[in-house]
Structure 1
Amino acid sequence: MEEKMKNKISTPRYQQIAIEIATRIASEEYRIGEKIYARSNIAGQYGVSPETARRAISVLCDLNIVSSEKGSGVTIKSHKNAVNFIKQHSKRKTIDTIKENILDSIDRQQKEMDTLNRHLSDLIIASEHFRSMNPFMPFEVRITSKCIYLNKTISEIQFWQNTGATVLAIQRNDMMIKSPGPYAILLENDILYFLSQDDNSKQVKDFLYPLTEE
């Protein structure tokens, strides 16, 4: 939560004050040449420090919206420049809003990924626990185009002799072939269900995919 707050995009208080004053100038609430509050009055009006008020006036001075001379207050110089400042701020605010929305989306996705990872960990632990209680729960492996024994029979590749595993069934599309026998052919996208002597599927996967991961 703290990290998210750091990523939040906010407008500094002095700039907020500068925008508020510029808005009043842009609406021609003040005439060109008219004097408005001194810095101390601005600080009191907006409930900020004199330094914050000074920075707000400096922004307006830099943009030639007002002029400020010590002892003579703040003088209105340009309605047009005030309008341009408000327009630029509006565009900037839109960009900042988009950035903030992106940061919020990233934060939500990160939380969703953390939740997913926890669920996956729970699933792995539960599966291992279930397998330990049920030693006859079969393993499964999908036959892909990378299988070096594609389109060969179980007998041809001496599946049991090389892996010590027994094929219980083959899932082929919507059909389940139970006890397929030694002459069953391994086709792409088949799913082999088998029991392993050492209760481990690695030997079978290494046998079918010795040069690459499945």
Structure 2
Amino acid sequence: MRVARQPRYQQIARLIAEKIARNELKVGEKIYARSTLATTFGVSPETARKAISVLSDLGIVDPVHGSGVIVVSRQKAQEHLEQYQEVETIQDLQEQILESVVRQQSELANFSTILDKLVDQTEHFQKANPLTPIEFQLVEQSPKLGKTLGEMNLWQNTGATIVAILQKEELIVSPGPYATINQGDTLYFVGASNTLQIIQNFFYTK
């Protein structure tokens, strides 16, 4: 729901401008006395006076001493409303952007909480099941590929114990030091909670 941003006298000035733009109040017609205007909108005479002053400054009405307030320009009333609507549109867009940012921040905070829980659960699972293999596929080229496990000293460099290698559609269980690692292979290994990151760094960090 939109919260009123304007002072009451500006809101009244806009409502009167709308009546003039719709030709409900015609050029040359007198607007009710300020006291009547105040009663109509439920505001003080001073607020009504300010509303008329706004319309006068915009050239929409002309307060004539002793004759009341005369409508002088429907066109300027229409121009004023068009400018007001443009401002409203900009404010609407600003509100939508701010609301979107708030939603994204909330969603990001929720995602972060879920991610933390996932990490905690993963670490707990790995600690409870230390022999559950971790899977890592070598999808990109690496200068270390094409070598055997023994040549690259994989266990010494990463702490990972390779329990199986999936090469194309062939699963090699308990591969020895002469097993060659190629691009596209999937490694199954056991190790510490940070071993996966070490493996990634080993193959793909220069």
TM-score by length of 2: 0.78
Residues in 1 aligned to 2:166 and 2:57: alpha-carbon distance in whole angstroms: 75
Tell me how far 1:23 sits from its aligned partner.
Answer: 1.0
SS in structure 1 opposite 2:70?
A: strand
Identify the residue that residue 104 of structure 1 maps to in structure 2. Answer: 99
Distance 1:179 1:52, change over 3 A: farther
Tell me how far 1:133 sits from its aligned partner.
Answer: 1.2
Residues in 2 aligned to 1:176 and 1:56: alpha-carbon distance in whole angstroms: 85
Residues in 2 aligned to 1:135 and 1:28: alpha-carbon distance in whole angstroms: 82
Q: Does 1:122 align with 2:117?
A: yes
Which of 161, 184, 187 aligns to 2:180? It is 184
Q: Any gaps of 5 or more consecutive residues in structure 1? A: none
Which of 111, 127, 130 aligns to 1:132? It is 127
Q: Does 1:200 align with 2:194?
A: yes
Is the Cα–Cα contact under 8 Å of residues 141 and 183 in structure 2 kept in the other structure?
A: no
Q: Does 1:34 align with 2:29?
A: yes
Q: Alignment identity in percent?
A: 42
Distance 1:87 1:204, change over 3 A: closer
Tell me how far 1:103 sits from its aligned partner.
Answer: 2.5
Identify the residue that residue 160 of structure 1 maps to in structure 2. Answer: 155
Tell me how far 1:172 sits from its aligned partner.
Answer: 6.2
Tell me how far 1:156 sits from its aligned partner.
Answer: 2.6
Tell me how far 1:166 sits from its aligned partner.
Answer: 1.3
CA offsets, 1:86-132, max 9 Å, x none? 22223333333333333322222222222211111111111111122
CA offsets, 1:119-157, max 9 Å, x none? 111111111111221111233444354744134332331
**Structure 1 residue ranges, 4+ long, deviating more than 6 angstroms after superposition:** none
Identify the residue that residue 57 of structure 1 maps to in structure 2. Answer: 52
Which of 150, 155, 158 aligns to 2:145? It is 150
Distance 1:130 1:72, change over 3 A: farther
Is the Cα–Cα contact under 8 Å of residues 123 and 193 in structure 2 kept in the other structure?
A: no
Tell me how far 1:82 sits from its aligned partner.
Answer: 1.0
CA offsets, 1:10-40, max 9 Å, x none? 4413332222101111122223233213444
Identify the residue that residue 45 of structure 1 maps to in structure 2. Answer: 40
Instruction: In structure 1, give the amino acid aligned to 2:182.
Output: L
Q: Any gaps of 5 or more consecutive residues in structure 2? A: none
Considering only aligned residues, what root-mean-square deviation do their CA atoms show, in Å?
Answer: 3.1
Residues in 2 aligned to 1:185 and 1:20: alpha-carbon distance in whole angstroms: 78
TM-score by length of 1: 0.75
Is the Cα–Cα contact under 8 Å of residues 171 and 177 in structure 1 kept in the other structure?
A: yes
Is the Cα–Cα contact under 8 Å of residues 153 and 186 in structure 1 kept in the other structure?
A: no
Distance 1:45 1:135, change over 3 A: same
Identify the residue that residue 23 of structure 1 maps to in structure 2. Answer: 18
Tell me how far 1:199 sits from its aligned partner.
Answer: 4.9
Distance 1:120 1:164, change over 3 A: closer
Range moving further from structure 2, 56-65 or 148-157: 148-157
Which of 87, 92, 112 aligns to 2:87? It is 92
Residues in 1 aligned to 2:100 and 2:71: alpha-carbon distance in whole angstroms: 43
